[in-house]
Amino acid sequence: MQLRTRWLPIIFFALAGCGEEAADLPKAPQLFTDRDEMSFNREFDSGIFLNTTGFNSLVLENRGEDTLQITDITMAAPSEFKLQVPEGFVAGTPFPLETYKRAFITVAFTPKAAREYQGTLTIKSNAANTPEKVIVLSGKGVDPNAP
C-alpha cells in the first residue's frame, strides 16, 4: 500500500500538465518557428557533396487564439537552394493556420561548386509577434574527390 502513496504526487503532477493550454494564449496570432536558421550538414564544418541534395524543413505554428494568415513566403538565395512551400499555399492568397496548427516549409540544397552558400527565407503574415520572419539559409558544397 505504501508504494501507491509514493506515486500519487507524481501521477497528480503528470496529469496536471495534460490540461488545455489555450487559456494562456494571446488573442492575436503568433508565428512560432522551430528555428531561425536552416543549415545544411554544417556540423563539424562538413557540407553537402557536389551535385547531391540535402533537405531541411522548417515548422510554422500559430500560438495565438486568432487565425494566423501567412501572406507571403519568399527566398533570396542562389539557385542551389530550392523552396517547397506548405501544401495548399498559393502566392498572393492568405494561407490560414488555426491555433496550434502547423505547416512545413522544405528547402533543398544542391551545391554545384565547393564553396559557402548563403541566403534568406522570408515569411510574411499577420502575426503580432513577428509580421516578417527572416530565416537564414547556409550551406557548404564539398568536393568528394578533394584531398
* 82 found inside a domain: yes
* 101 found inside a domain: yes
Where do we find the cell 508504494? Answer: 3
> DSSP secondary-structure letter at 53?
-
* 121 found inside a domain: yes
* 15 found inside a domain: no
* 6 found inside a domain: no
Where do we find the cell 501507491? Answer: 4
Examine the pLDDT at 3 and tell me if it is beyond 50: no
> DSSP secondary-structure letter at 10?
H
**34-87 residue pLDDT tens:** 999 999 876 666 889 999 999 999 999 999 999 999 999 999 999 999 999 999
**Could you tell me the CATH number of the domain that includes residue 36?**
2.60.40.10
* 37 found inside a domain: yes
Q: Which domain holds residue 60?
A: 25-142
Q: What total of structural domains would you count in the chain?
A: 1
Q: Is the pTM of this model over 0.85?
A: no
Inter-residue contact 42 to 138 (CB < 8 Å): yes
* 20 found inside a domain: no
| CB-count exposure of residue 65 (10 Å: 0-12, 13-18, 19+) | middle
Task: State the alpha helices, DSSP H only, in the chain.
Answer: 2-16
Residue 24 pLDDT: 86
* 77 found inside a domain: yes
Distance CA 63, CA 70 (A): 13
Residue 126 pLDDT: 97
Residue 143 pLDDT: 92
Q: What are residue 135's DSSP bridge partners? A: 121
- Closest residue by Cα to residue 116 from 36, 46, 44: 46
Q: Hey, CA dihedral for 63, 69, 118, 53, is it positive or negative?
A: positive
